[in-house]
Structure 1
Amino acid sequence: MTAKKTVYSLFMSFLVLSLAACSSTPSDVAKVSAKEDKKSNEVHTAHWTYEGKTGPEHWADLNPEFAACTNGKEQSPINIETAQVIEGEEIADLAINYKPTSVTLSNNGHTIQGTPANPDNSIVIDNKEYKLAQFHFHTPSEHQINGQNFDMELHFVHKDVNGQLAVLGLMIKEGASNPYLEEAWSGIPTEVTTEDVQLTEPIDIMSLLPKDIDTFRYNGSLTTPPCSEAVKWVVLETPIEMSKEQIDTFRKIFPDNHRPILPLNQREVKED
């Protein structure tokens, strides 16, 4: 074969390979990209529950972003032993500024969540304001007091301008019907929602709280994945009441949606 023919043959082979590569690249890249996007989306929306292989003991295995659920040293909830609570020391001032507000409800598959329309609901801790972002429910209570759970627990989740969180925890025990939650319970979504349910009447959030606002304070975390820490916890000492019928209404949707107790480790619980 002459040198000219050899060069021509090599050129044609290269051209064929190049055309083949070019013709397959878009679809192949699209397939790979789709697989990567799907994998990324699956990691981002890792399915977690309160039982079995996707329950609290395995949350950290479901997504690297959930590592704090196992490795964190300041996790919530905790058991509050009143005999070990520190009294008499200075504690950050607390002001609760809640007003009646329109609320939408959603069922996210883990709890019933209420989102207030009024942006002015807030708490102030040590002169720092935290705006109320949402509130939701757990049964049984996530926190314990002297080793005992309550029937339910209500969490008011707040956020400051820097995204730092503060959660106000309110224990609920079986007793009289709670009139301030009647409107919410009448519209409670029993299935996972794609759109929030607008309540027809506002909720007087301040009236949900007990008259006695004594609190326990400690540094903790979110009680659901990703279990992020640096959360200021304010747990009210005095529980409120809901009727057995109201509690059962929630439990028919979520029989058990609480995270078990975590070690206190080196933290302190203070009382105001």
Structure 2
Amino acid sequence: MQINKRGLLFTVIVLTAVAGCGNNSNPSHKAEVAKEASVPVSAHQTHWSYEGDTSPEHWAELDQLFTACSTGTAQSPVNIVHDKVKEDESLSPVSVEYSPSPVSIMNNGHTIQVTLNNKNNKLTIEGKTYQLQQFHFHLPSEHEVDGKHAEMELHLVHKSEDGSLAVLGVLIHSGSENITLNMLWSVLPAEESADEIVIDGAFDPAGLLPADLHSFRYQGSLTTPPCTEGVQWIVLENPVTWSAEQIGKFAAIFPHDNRPVQPLGSREIGSDD
């Protein structure tokens, strides 16, 4: 198995992706958000975590670049309340074009991240196309639905040609085994490292999605520092299942790596039903 050394990447959340980088059409802002989606840790030396003095409630105190974590008004994740979701007929269905692709996997100290090493995986929404950059996991889920967490959440991070970010979020419940996942979990890196492990063969990210792609949509932020806003979130309504053993393997490495839900404020959550 070949080892590919690359810069350690920040996780981006993105519970799960949509048109444009929020309502901000400023190209420089979009480029800033896209850059932060995969900025090497060496560029941001500030240590943050999910526990103790460097936990989410302290992120804004750790670095002036993290100010939005406390002052932002459109932060993620959020609690999705069915009774308050607005059905929006103007929203187009999510179109996903994923195929078996070369990937690499790493433990970046915050999550397990899988990087796509080609540009063949695409998401299209509202007539705009985004390329899948990477995906990663959170335990328990970052988004809540009617005040309840799922066991885990998958975030698939996409970027458009103009730098806009769209994150596709998939909730994960305990149940039947996900056969596709075993290709990754067979080489699950337990220790943090700047090295990416190149997976033998091709991995199909479509195997991580439910058959029904109906979704919730809202404008939010990165769920990790620097918590930059202007991220389009798409959270799929239908969860997928993993076996208890598959969830347990992740939990043994990251017992807790989720940011608590943030105030929705004046934002609305739409549905493409």
TM-score range normalised by the length of the shorter chain: 0.7 to 0.9
The correspondence of residues 41-60 of structure 1 with structure 2, limited to 5 A, is 44-60=44-60
Normalized against structure 2, the TM-score is what?
Answer: 0.82
The correspondence of residues 250-269 of structure 1 with structure 2, limited to 5 A, is 250-269=250-269
Q: Deviations over 1:1-51 (max 9, x none)?
A: xxxxxxxxxxxxxxxxxxxxxxxxxxxxxxxxxxxxxxxx99931000001
CA distance in 2: counterparts of 1:58 and 1:153, whole angstroms: 23
CA distance in 2: counterparts of 1:142 and 1:195, whole angstroms: 26
Corresponding residue for residue 220 of structure 1: 220
Structure 2 unaligned spans of 5+: 1-40
Paired residue secondary structure (2:220): strand
Count of aligned residue pairs for this structure pair: 232
- Identity across aligned pairs (percent)? 48
Paired residue secondary structure (1:179): coil
CA contact (8 A) 1:44 1:63 kept: no
CA contact (8 A) 2:94 2:213 kept: no
- 1:94 has 2:94 as partner: yes
Give the C-alpha shift of residue 66 in structure 1: 0.7
Give the C-alpha shift of residue 251 in structure 1: 0.5
CA distance in 1: counterparts of 2:73 and 2:264, whole angstroms: 8
Corresponding residue for residue 77 of structure 2: 77
Q: Which has the higher helix share?
A: 1
Structure 1 outlier segments of 4+, above 2 Å: 41-44
- Name the structure, 1 or 2, with higher relative contact order (CA <8 Å, separation 6+): 2
CA distance in 2: counterparts of 1:76 and 1:183, whole angstroms: 30
Q: Deviations over 1:232-254 (max 9, x none)?
A: 00000110011111101000100
CA contact (8 A) 1:77 1:260 kept: yes
- Which one has a bigger Cα radius of gyration? 1
Q: What do you get for the CA RMSD once the two structures are aligned?
A: 1.4
Corresponding residue for residue 16 of structure 1: none
CA contact (8 A) 1:183 1:201 kept: no
CA distance in 1: counterparts of 2:92 and 2:67, whole angstroms: 30
CA contact (8 A) 2:180 2:208 kept: yes
The residue type equivalent to 1:116 in the other structure is L
CA distance in 2: counterparts of 1:43 and 1:163, whole angstroms: 20
The correspondence of residues 1-272 of structure 1 with structure 2, limited to 5 A, is 44-272=44-272
Normalized against structure 1, the TM-score is what?
Answer: 0.83
The residue type equivalent to 1:182 in the other structure is N
Give the C-alpha shift of residue 88 in structure 1: 4.1
